[in-house]
Amino acid sequence: MRRFGALALILLLSLLLTACGGDDEAAPAGDTSGSVVRWPRDPQHIIFRAEVTGGEDEGLVALNEVPLCTLYGDGRLVWTVSGEGGLDEVRFDFLDDVKIIDFVNYLVVSMRIYTYEAEYDFQLPQTTTPVYERMILNVNDRQHATDDFAEWPVDYFEDIVERCQSIAPTPRIFEPQGAWLSVQQVDYQNNRPSVFWEADAAGLSLQSIAEIGERRWIEGNLVIILWRTLRDTALDMQFNEGNAYYQIALQVPGVTADAPLAPAQ
């Protein structure tokens, strides 16, 4: 029944998109006034997201993760590409309405995303969370989710991610101006990279943040230094301050998954 309803929705949207701007011959270039695709212009609203989720690493370190590709309501596109040493490099750009509508048209009409429902919650219970691929599309007051338990065609997810990561006209490397910093003390692991943290020189004690147990908003060069340290080395980097070791999370609003809003200015 759900599959039949999704097919009917796809057919309806296909007809509307073709008649209202999905076809370049039906409307002048740049004209989106007749489009049926609507979304909030809120910079926190997620129009589309593709990510790999699950697995054992669901603690503090996982808060550093940036999804494979996310499109926000203000037209901001944030995605990752594999950099040197296999570490992900974060990039961003802004899309105009025409590109956003064309991408939604691609998802709905060409890739038939509404055909595939999220099926993870209907799998047999497991003691561990498997790693799986997931996508959401949130337009026209409807959020649709799907995952790779929905029997996607071969290369379905990869093709959509590649399309999402390739539509930016002027891609740029992202570095944050501010971020929420969380810290927790950990036992030293010799199979993870470590670095000495001099609290007096940095003007920031990781130990004190860990002891308080609350995240702290940081800005300026310090947030860029920490961001580069994680992105250029490892997200599970161990910071040695005093006689203890700490791991950190940098949550950047509108970039890392599920980051809190920046504090009110």
Q: What pLDDT, in 10s, does the model give residues 31-79?
A: 565 578 999 999 999 999 999 988 766 689 999 999 999 999 999 999 9
The overall average pLDDT reported for the chain is 87
pLDDT (tens digit per residue) in 72-121: 999 999 999 987 666 789 999 999 999 999 999 999 999 999 999 998 77
* Same domain, yes or no: 51 and 158: yes
Q: Phi then psi for 149, rounded to 5 degrees? A: -80, -5
Is the pLDDT at 1 greater than 90? The verdict is no
* Same domain, yes or no: 214 and 141: no
* Same domain, yes or no: 232 and 115: no
Per the domain annotation, does 262 fall within a domain? no
Most confident listed range (24-28, 30-34, 84-88, 248-252):
248-252
Q: Which domain holds residue 159?
A: 2-23+36-172
* Same domain, yes or no: 47 and 150: yes
**pLDDT score, position 66:** 95
Per the domain annotation, does 265 fall within a domain? no
**pLDDT score, position 18:** 41
* Same domain, yes or no: 159 and 190: no
Q: How confident is the model at residue 4 (pLDDT cuts 50, 70, 90)?
A: very low
* Same domain, yes or no: 163 and 188: no
* Same domain, yes or no: 168 and 237: no
Is the pLDDT at 19 greater than 50? The verdict is no
Tally of domains within the chain: 2
Is the pLDDT at 257 greater than 50? The verdict is yes
Per the domain annotation, does 126 fall within a domain? yes
Per the domain annotation, does 74 fall within a domain? yes
* Same domain, yes or no: 62 and 160: yes
% of the chain residues with pLDDT over 70: 84
Per the domain annotation, does 197 fall within a domain? yes
Domain boundary among 129, 146, 172: 172
- Which tops the pLDDT comparison, 7 or 137? 137
**pLDDT score, position 82:** 84
* Same domain, yes or no: 134 and 187: no
Per the domain annotation, does 264 fall within a domain? no
Strand ranges in the chain using DSSP code E only, listed in sequence order: 46-53, 69-72, 76-82, 88-94, 132-139, 142-147, 172-173, 178-186, 194-196, 216-219, 238-241, 244-251
Contact 80, 99 (CB under 8 A): no
* Same domain, yes or no: 200 and 227: yes
State the alpha helices, DSSP H only, in 87-220: 97-105, 156-166, 199-202, 206-212
Residues 149-163, mean pLDDT to the nearest whole number: 96
* Same domain, yes or no: 168 and 184: no
146 strand-pairing partners: 135
* Same domain, yes or no: 137 and 15: yes
Per the domain annotation, does 124 fall within a domain? yes
